[in-house]
């Protein structure tokens, strides 16, 4: 069956002119198996830095796109990619930006993260290129370009979307007579039954390097308590980090920790280790983003791949069902260092064309940021479930560290403190005070 695919960013994600708004092991480039692809003495080299590492299955798909562009582009350029792990990416890019040694093309997060570089005059305004090609401009899903728009102009190009979902092992659920929970109370019952049967309910990481993983869990709980109202208030300054809904979310999380819903010693478990627990069947569930589909669908790296499915985390309050953490997944921007902006834009157009967007979805589970005809027969079962979850959402709230890098990182650190046993009210009071002390 074929139908038009368009994953719409709803609610919070439908932002317009953003003028003050504000997440994987070691770095290294993906190996190019064809050493002659696009190589020529007279080709201009454009450098590109991307988020990813050898353990991320989608890196193979990205490399294929780059290789094909290198072979066929009309600009006389060759793209040389460098893949850097999530844990290292922000630090490396910030350092390079500060020293004016940034690559020609960079992976970027949206909202406040990219805005920092836009305000620093480090990023090329892409509005004229979109305006010159209406077909390309209109191909993006509703609400996507807006997240990389500042003072009315677009500075980043989204290539994928994402949301946080709860992955689960269907075999473990069936063996224990469990169904996908549709309420928070049912979710807690599922976790309790798994514990009674000596099964770790949820794999979760909470180390300093992976702080965003535990913060997205607390943020998801807060979405289910206050909808997207809390996020919007914190974003525009009318709300507070120590709002009653956020405190309740943190307290519920602490209750879950104390009941043993997460693996023993999870505060010392890294993101890759938590993923491995789920991939080897040592945990029944795993809370992460849809970007994990390519790894969890891959039988070469995931022992339980045939049993993996997903669902949207149930809301604490029924009226906020299908308000989830989510945003753009993959975006690129062109830096002011770029030697050939026309060619860089050419790569971004090529990356986002219907053929490549479809391949990244069918083969690597990357939820597209552009519209194209969907062939459902080519979707994996996991990708199909993820799309279903996505399209059922009423609103999505971006990760707080994308909304505002500084405050979002403080929230990440505060979440780790809560995971380690600190009292939620006190920690969130300190976070709110930090926000007030650092208001611009």
The model's pLDDT over 320-360, given as tens digits with 9 standing for 90+, comes to 999 999 999 999 999 999 999 999 999 999 999 999 999 99
Start-to-end CA span in the chain (Å): 52
Instruction: Dump pLDDT digits (tens) for 124-161.
Output: 999 999 999 999 999 999 999 999 999 999 999 999 99
How far apart (Å, rounded) are the C-alpha atoms in residues 356 and 353?
6
Contacts of 352 (CB under 8 A, 6+ apart): 136, 139, 140, 157, 159, 369, 370
How far apart (Å, rounded) are the C-alpha atoms in residues 274 and 22?
29
How far apart (Å, rounded) are the C-alpha atoms in residues 313 and 164?
8
Rg (CA), the chain: 21
Instruction: Dump pLDDT digits (tens) for 417-426.
Output: 999 999 999 9
Instruction: Dump pLDDT digits (tens) for 71-115.
Output: 999 999 999 999 999 889 999 999 999 999 999 999 999 999 999
How far apart (Å, rounded) are the C-alpha atoms in residues 341 and 357?
22
Query: Considering Cα of 21, then 24, then 25, then 26, what sign does the dihedral take?
Result: negative
Q: What are phi and psi of 350, to 5 degrees?
A: -65, -45
How far apart (Å, rounded) are the C-alpha atoms in residues 429 and 427?
5
315-to-160, 213, 226, 251 alpha-carbon distances in Å:
25, 18, 10, 15
pTM: 0.90
How far apart (Å, rounded) are the C-alpha atoms in residues 350 and 382?
26
Q: What is the token pair recorded at 432? A: 């709110």
């Amino acid at each position: 069956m074929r139908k038009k695919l368009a994953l719409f960013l709803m609610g919070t994600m439908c932002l317009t002119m953003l003028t003050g708004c504000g997440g994987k092991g070691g770095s290294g480039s993906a190996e190019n198996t064809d050493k002659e692809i696009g190589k020529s003495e007279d080709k201009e080299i454009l450098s590109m830095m991307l988020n990813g590492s050898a353990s991320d299955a989608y890196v193979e798909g990205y490399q294929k796109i780059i290789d094909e562009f290198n072979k066929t582009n009309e600009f006389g350029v060759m793209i040389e990619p460098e893949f850097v792990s999530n844990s290292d990416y922000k630090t490396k890019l910030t350092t390079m930006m500060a020293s004016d040694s940034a690559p020609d093309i960079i992976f970027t997060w949206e909202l406040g993260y990219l805005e920092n570089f836009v305000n620093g005059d480090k990023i090329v305004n892409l509005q004229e290129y979109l305006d010159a090609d209406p077909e390309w401009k209109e191909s993006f899903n509703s609400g996507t370009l807006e997240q990389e728009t500042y003072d009315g102009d677009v500075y980043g190009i989204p290539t994928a979307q994402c949301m946080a979902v709860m992955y689960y092992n269907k075999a473990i659920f069936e063996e224990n007579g469990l169904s996908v929970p549709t309420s928070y109370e049912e979710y807690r019952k599922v976790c309790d039954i798994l514990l009674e049967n000596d099964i770790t309910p949820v794999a979760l990481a909470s180390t300093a390097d992976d702080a965003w993983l535990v913060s997205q869990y607390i943020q998801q709980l807060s979405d289910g308590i206050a909808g997207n109202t809390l996020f919007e208030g914190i974003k525009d300054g009318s709300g507070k980090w120590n709002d009653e809904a956020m405190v309740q979310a943190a307290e519920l999380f602490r209750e879950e920790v104390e009941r043993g819903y997460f693996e023993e010693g999870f505060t010392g478990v890294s993101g890759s280790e938590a993923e491995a627990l789920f991939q080897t069947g040592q945990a029944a569930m795993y809370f992460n983003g849809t970007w994990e589909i390519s790894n969890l669908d891959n039988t070469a790296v995931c022992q339980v791949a045939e049993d993996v499915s997903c669902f949207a985390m149930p809301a604490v309050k029924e009226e906020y069902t299908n308000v989830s953490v989510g945003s753009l997944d993959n975006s690129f921007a062109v830096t002011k260092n770029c030697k050939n902006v026309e060619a860089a834009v050419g790569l971004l157009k090529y990356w986002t064309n219907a053929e490549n967007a479809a391949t990244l979805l069918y083969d690597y589970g990357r939820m597209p940021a552009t519209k194209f005809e969907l062939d459902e027969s080519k979707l994996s079962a996991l990708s199909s479930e993820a799309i279903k979850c996505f399209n059922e959402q009423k609103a999505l709230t971006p990760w707080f560290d994308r909304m505002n890098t500084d405050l979002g990182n403080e929230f990440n650190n505060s979440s780790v403190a809560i995971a380690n046993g600190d009292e939620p009210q006190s920690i969130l009071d300190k976070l709110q005070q930090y926000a007030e002390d650092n208001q611009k």
